[in-house]
Amino acid sequence: MPPGILVEGGVLVNRDGRRFVDETADIAGMVHPVMAQPDGTAWVVFDARIEDLCAYTLEVQALRDTGAIRNAADAAALAAIIGADPATLAATLTATSPDPFGRDWQTPPQPPYHAVKVGGAIYHTQGGLQIDGDARVLRADGSGFANLFAAGGAARGVSGPSYWGYLPAMGLGSAITLGRIAGRSAALA
């Protein structure tokens, strides 16, 4: 799922029809709360307004093309798709703002609902190859490879070795900066 679906107001519900996280708190680390759900799955629930806002992404186009987006006229129909209790799901989808997770709603999804079943997966990588100040890849013993350089997401940078260090635009920033450093270093090698 493209992050915009959640940012624009989409919600994650588990098979019981309950939300379990502030979906906007850590987009890059959403894999962990999803994997902690029964069967390691969840449903992303959104509406036509949210889908239209994200329709430009290749991911939404692929979801449409493959028929992955399920449609439901109301919470009861969506509960039948998910296998959840209709009353529980209806209460979840009509919660007020801010909710128990601290999310301050602009506009929650409205019927008719759209939903996609998701599993926990890594959206992008953090960490990567250890490099020195010249963007040269380092061996385990700390010595550098003569002609191997890394930049962007392939190199460990200020984000650290895991998803928790992610900052928006860090991939682009490190790709540009380390790409220039790696290019200059390679030219001198």
pLDDT per residue over 24-57, tens digit each? 887 777 888 999 998 999 999 999 999 999 999 9
Region 56-69: mean pLDDT is 94
Neighbours of 178 (CB within 10 A): 22
Comparison of pLDDT for 177 and 173, the residue scoring more: 177
Contact 106, 47 (CB under 8 A): no
- Which residues make beta-bridge pairs with 138? 144
pLDDT tens, position by position, 105-151: 777 899 999 999 999 766 555 667 899 999 999 999 999 999 999 98
* Identity of residue 51: E
Q: Which of these, 85, 92, 88, lies nearest to 45 by C-alpha position?
A: 92
Distance between CA atoms of residues 161 and 35, nearest Å: 20
Comparison of pLDDT for 99 and 146, the residue scoring more: 146
In this prediction the pTM is 0.71
Q: What is the pLDDT of residue 137?
A: 95
What residue ranges define each of the domains in the chain, with the CATH number in brackets?
Answer: 3-119 (3.90.700.10), 136-188 (no CATH)
Region 58-87: mean pLDDT is 96
What is the residue-averaged pLDDT of the chain? 87
pLDDT tens, position by position, 72-82: 999 999 999 99
Q: How confident is the model at residue 103 (pLDDT cuts 50, 70, 90)?
A: confident
